[in-house]
Structure 1
Amino acid sequence: MDRSRRGATRRDVLTYGTALAASGGLAGCSSILGGDTADAEAGTGSYTVSMLPMGEVTFESPPETVFTRLTHHADMAFALGCGDSITAMHAPDYYDGLWNQFVERLPGVTLDWTGLYSSWKPSKEKLYELDSDVHLADPAWIAKQDAWSREDLEEVATKISPWFGNSLSDRHAEPALGWKAGYEYYGLWEQFEIVAEAFKERNRYEALAAVHDDLLSTIQSGLPPESERPSAVMLASADLDEIYAYTLDNPGFLTAHTRPLGPKDAFDGEIETNTVVDFEALLSADPDVIFFLGGFEPGTSLPKREEAFRADPVASEITAVQNGRMYPQGARYQGPILHLFQLEMTAKQLYPEQFGEWPTYEEGPYPEIPTEEQLFDRQKVAAVIRGDL
């Protein structure tokens, strides 16, 4: 459909701070479950929210349908009660299976992302077809793709709905030419707060932020001295022929659940994150703890991964392998809900004496942890997502 030939629509263009035009959507996707204001629930009254690289974006009302590209944004929408309003995301079936391993522990909460449009390399034509009320994605990242020009991004923002997201805060990556001026890097919860303002869900954000603050306080008060902390590395590998190593303290929200725990870098700063390593390099680094990225993937057998390391004459000499300290992780592009689980499990995996033993895990959902050993309240988090504020 050619929107340029239509008259005023439900997304009349308002303002957009960096020359990309912005627009508003319909009433919020979860307003009946506890939206912030009567105006938001009625779909009346415009409001402006600012996030770079977009600048100021004015909405007529909270979005009902949400395009996302990466899972930190999808998780934000989910946390704000809009998980069922997502129209697109990267690898939806894969991440539906992975996220549901954690959602299993949130009573009364469900999530279904199966069958959505896979938006790793979105087309402009598909965005017209989806007709989402907001594009919760970073235009500076989309601009890195050859198929997208600045004019294309402006067209989508003007004729469909605004861009409103920031992804290069993942590891403080360099923006594409034309986007460097004024680009800003946000912490995970800092960006979540801004997104919550756009969705008119301040109450939900504050309730979840309080849970997060309590969890961080528990961790900070229980951390052992630096001299007593283990060395660690995170690995990802579809097979043992190509193993990627990730450092745990580099800037960005990808390490938001490991930086607060302060483990020692097994490579002592000698490699950059996302570096291919072999067993010899791992033995030389000799980590006390190995994290397996994607260890919660449905159908993944953690025991098989561990056995592959124990069966290799070189890998079997690594301290983490000999001591059985090989643990699963979820996903790097975490939003607020996954972040809570990953903070808890990583704290237990690194410091069992301080935060309680991590249960033996082989496969399936996030393990059930006795209430008295949980580091955050699942009931409270689930109530926020459901809108029972």
Structure 2
Amino acid sequence: MRETPASRLTRRSLLKGAGAASTGTLLAGCTGDGASDETQTTEEGASETATETTTAESTTTETGGGYSVSMSPVGTVEFDAVPENVFTVFPQYADMAVALGHGDAVNSVYVPEMSGTTMNHYNHHLDGVSFDWEGLHDPLSNSFSKELLYELDSDVHLADPAWATTQKNWNQSDVEEIATQLSPWFGNFYSGTRAPAPDGYDDYQYYDLWELFGKVASVFRERERYEALAEVHSNLVSSIREKLPPKDERPSAVRVTLAQDGESFYTYHLNKPGYWLADTRPLGANDAFADEDWQSLWGTVDYETMLEADPDVILHLWGITPSYSMADTRSKLEENASGSQLKAVENDRVHAAGMRYQGPIMNLFQIEMGAKQLYPDIFGEWPRYEDGDHYPEIPEGEWLFDRNRVADIVAGRTE
């Protein structure tokens, strides 16, 4: 396993400064993955792994007055104390910090207004839980900047050093400099789709979302919170699976984003490996594009291809974020001669979906959302989502997981 130097969690004085929150630029279709959209995806689909419904074993080792946590590709990382100033890029790590009661430690996140607003669309239903995103830095607003990392002077970087080496003006020596001069890296990006890691990371190991969450929980020394939330997740997934109809009776569906010109779709799979699909894979819908190999993390199709697939349900990725208008999306589909013929459009089954960069809280809500959108006769009707609103109100008797229990766990009431 690749070793990354760890440094002591002491306050440094290098290039400190508050800095104004930056405004991120949304890239077409996929809302930006840095270099990841050019990475080849070679592993074919598989059903959800058993580990996604079990709690990950603790990887924490006591080392004198401190402790260490191990994860690929960073190796074993030593900590003197629980991090209080935490760098994140993608919001799954910010969501993990919130879920573990350490949301206030986060100093950066990709497009803070989009990520933070979306997280709070879900947190709205958890009493006392919120993410204060205003004033946070966007680490990708002006490429991935080493200067920003020095400025933020974080106690840990919840980002993947392998991914960092693929960014503009970065190489392995830059990654090692940050780990040595500032603080450790602790992230795993390529488990998102099980895509191959960059050269030099041949022993890269993949994790599912809840295994990864367990590793981060060990960094924050919050195993009880993690195990309690993992139990909620396990119960949610098992309760859904036991009620799913036979495969040939399940709806066909696609996960897409309508391009801004309204003439094509960015497409994503439903049931392939990787934590980007941690909300759709447990639901077992029939992926209308299951046999498509786009040779990248996403593909594009035109209306003709969509009509050939003609799915029962269209799940519009990013639809519940402030970055897209579902009203506009539905209008464009209805006004297009081909789009209006789609079965999902005719039957009003074009639904707002969430974000693929999902942490544990987002994952719980997005699994519930998808279950109701795909199987309303089994799990209850999905209330129509209106642009700008929070996650819709659902009567308590129709919840698929207990919001009060989750709020208690985040607050530290795990018993």
Residue 367 of structure 2 is matched in structure 1 by 343
Aligned equivalents of 2:397 and 2:320: distance in 1? 23
1:24 to 1:62, Cα distance in 2 relative to 1, 3 A: farther
Which one scores higher on RCO, CA 8 angstroms, separation ≥ 6? 2
SS of equivalent to 1:342 = helix
In the alignment, the residues of structure 2 paired with residue 207 and residue 152 of structure 1 have an alpha-carbon distance, to the nearest angstrom, of 38
User: 1:299 & 1:153 partners in 2: Cα distance?
Assistant: 31
Shift of 1:268: 4.1
1:209 matched to 2:230: yes
TM-score, reference length from structure 1: 0.88
- 1:23 corresponds in structure 2 to 7
Q: Which residue of 1 aligns with 2:70?
A: 50
Q: Find the aligned partners of 2:257 and 2:224 in 1 and give their Cα distance.
A: 37
Which residue is equivalent to 1:328? 352
1:176 is aligned to 198
Q: Greater Rg, structure 1 or structure 2?
A: 1
Aligned CA distance change for structure 1 residues 19 and 302 (closer, same or farther; 3 Å): closer
Cα deviation, residue 238, structure 1? 4.5
Match of 1:285 among 289, 309, 320: 309
Moved more, 263-272 or 322-331: 263-272
Change (3 A) 1:282 1:210: same
**Which amino acid letter does the alignment assign opposite residue 235 of structure 1?**
V
What is aligned with 1:5? none
Contact 1:98–1:297 under 8 Å retained in 2: yes
Structure 1 residue 123 corresponds to structure 2 residue 145: yes
2:25 paired residue number: none
Q: Does residue 385 of the first structure (1) align with residue 407 of the second (2)? A: no
Deviations for 1:252-302, whole angstroms, at most 9, x for unmatched residues?
A: 011111111111111241343511111111001100000111111237442
Deviation string, structure 1 residues 335-376 (Cα, Å, up to 9, x no partner): 111000000010011011111111122221100101110001
Letter in 2 for 1:305: T
Which residue identity lines up with residue 315 of structure 1 in the other structure?
Answer: G
Match of 1:233 among 231, 240, 254: 254
The answer to whether structure 1 residue 194 and structure 2 residue 215 are counterparts is: yes
Q: 1:270 is matched by which residue type in structure 2?
A: E
State the alpha-carbon separation in 1 of the partners of residues 170 and 343 from structure 2: 47
Mapping of 1:306-321 within 5 angstroms? 306-321=330-345
d(CA) in 2 for partners of 1:299, 1:63? 31
Query: Per-residue displacement from partner, 1:218-246 (whole Å, max 9, x unpaired)?
Result: 11111111010011001113421342011
CA contact (8 A) 2:118 2:320 kept: yes
1:137 to 123, 144, 159: 159
Contact 1:24 1:62 in 2 (8 A): no
- 4+ residue segments displaced more than 6 Å: none
Could you say what secondary structure the match of 2:107 adopts? strand
Structure 2 residue aligned with 1:148: 170
The alignment partner of 1:135 has SS state of: strand
Q: CA deviation at 1:19?
A: 4.2
CA contact (8 A) 1:93 1:115 kept: no
Which residue of structure 2 lines up, in the alignment, with residue 305 of structure 1? 329
Query: Which of 391, 405, 409 is the aligned partner of 1:366?
Result: 391
Cα separation, 1, equivalents of 2:412 and 2:380: 31
Q: Please say if residues 303 and 339 of structure 2, whose CA atoms lie closer than 8 Å, have aligned partners that are also in contact.
A: yes
Q: Which amino acid aligns with 1:373?
A: E
Tell me if the contact between 1:53 and 1:166 (Cα under 8 Å) persists in the aligned partners.
yes
* TM-score, length-scaled by structure 2: 0.83
Separation (CA, whole Å) in 1 of partners of 2:79 and 2:323: 42
1:100 to 99, 115, 120: 120
1:220 alignment partner, one of 234, 241, 250: 241
Is the 8 Å Cα contact of residues 248 and 265 (structure 1) preserved in structure 2?
yes
- 2:410 alignment partner AA: I
Give how far 1:26 is off.
6.5
Distance verdict in 2 for CA 1:381–1:26, change over 3 Å: farther
Q: Indicate if the aligned counterparts of 1:25 and 1:64 stay in contact, CA closer than 8 A.
A: no
- Give the conservation status (yes or no) of the 8 Å contact 1:68–1:87: yes
Residues 1:257 and 2:279 are matched in the alignment: yes
Matched-pair contact (CA < 8 Å) for 2:108–2:136: yes
1:97–1:298 contact (8 Å) kept in structure 2: yes
What runs of 5+ residues in structure 2 fail to find an aligned partner? 12-59
Per-residue displacement from partner, 1:87-145 (whole Å, max 9, x unpaired)? 11211122112211111111111211122111123322221111111001000000111
Q: Per-residue CA shift, 1:29-48, capped at 9, x if unaligned? A: xxxxxxxxxxx9xxx82111
Distance 1:227 1:119, change over 3 A: same
Percent identity of equivalent pairs: 48
Q: Distance in 1 between matches of 2:211 and 2:220?
A: 15
Match of 1:90 in 2: 110
Q: Helix, strand or coil for the counterpart of 1:117?
A: coil
Report the AA paired with residue 159 of structure 2. Answer: A
Q: Secondary structure at the match of 2:69?
A: strand
CA distance in 1, matches of 2:233, 2:135: 31
Alignment equivalent of 1:77, drawn from 88, 97, 118: 97
The farther-off stretch of 286-295 and 103-112 is 103-112
Report the counterpart of residue 82 of structure 2 in structure 1.
Answer: 62
Tell me how many residue pairs correspond in the alignment.
358
Structure 1: how far apart are the matches of 2:125 and 2:407?
A: 9
